[in-house]
Amino acid sequence: MSKKTIIFSIVLILVGATIFESRILSEEGLMQAETVATTTSATNQVAETATQDSVVMQEWVISAYDEMMRRISAEEGQDWLLMSAIAYNESRFKSHLVSKQGAIGLMQVMPIVGKQFNVDKERIADPETNIRLAGKLLKQIDKTLKISPTASVNDRLSIILACYNGGIGHVSDARRLAKSNGEDHNSWEVVARYLKQKADPAVYESELVRHGKFTGSRQTEAYVREVMKRYDVYRRMITDKQI
């Protein structure tokens, strides 16, 4: 092989290697570009989905029942934030929940309450009916208790919530006992103490007690505490949202 032939062969090899390398680089670049495009597209889809979810979430503040709570609470003279706090503690906003005791729906309304307001048991689970019955019951409790206008808002609401959970009869007994002993029967702290005493035969057998023994004071106190705490959280949420 001549010297010229050898040189020409080397040149061909170098040119071929350069072309092959360029092709590889081009293919890698194309793959990288496709990967970037795919990643960008996926990211955009995620962002778009997140935005859509955010829009859906922003339609309500506390629960999917916000609008219904606002409307019915206004019609029944109740604070929709308190009603929402009750619904959370009663059912976690599960409209078809039925307790072992037979309480139904969002607000865990007992069939006897429906009967009291001429509502058939089959209708109680309906969210709108359920919320309305709870609003009517709270209004009736408040009217029956005749709590002094000088009582604090917290005391008033706490005593009403205790009735909603433990029964107006037992709470009325506790208030009667407090008053007979010269204590403030409009104070939730005082009423809660006498409510606890209703587990004692020496107390619940008193002629002042009309509704017998009560052993659920601990549960009722916890209920009042949790609803009031959540009510406070909801009020701050709404205040922060309006600022």
Neighbours of 45 (CB within 10 A): 10
Check pLDDT > 90 for residue 23.
Answer: no
CA dist 183 and 191 (Å) reads 9
- The 10s digit of each residue's pLDDT in 175-216 is 999 999 999 999 999 999 999 999 999 999 999 999 999 999
Q: Would you say 183 and 212 are in contact if contact means Cβ atoms under 8 Å apart?
A: no
CA dist 223 and 158 (Å) reads 9
| Number of residues in the chain | 243
Tell me the C-alpha to C-alpha distance, in Å, between residue 8 and each of 5, 14, 200.
Answer: 5, 10, 113
If DSSP states are collapsed to H, E and C, what string results for 60-122? CCCCCCHHHHHHHHHHCCCCHHHHHHHHHHHHCCCCCCECCCCCECCCCECHHHHHHCCCCHH
The whole-model pTM stands at 0.76
User: For domain 61-144, is the CATH number 1.10.530.10?
Assistant: yes
Give the pLDDT score at 241: 73
Averaged pLDDT for residues 162-179: 98
Q: What is the mean pLDDT of the chain?
A: 83
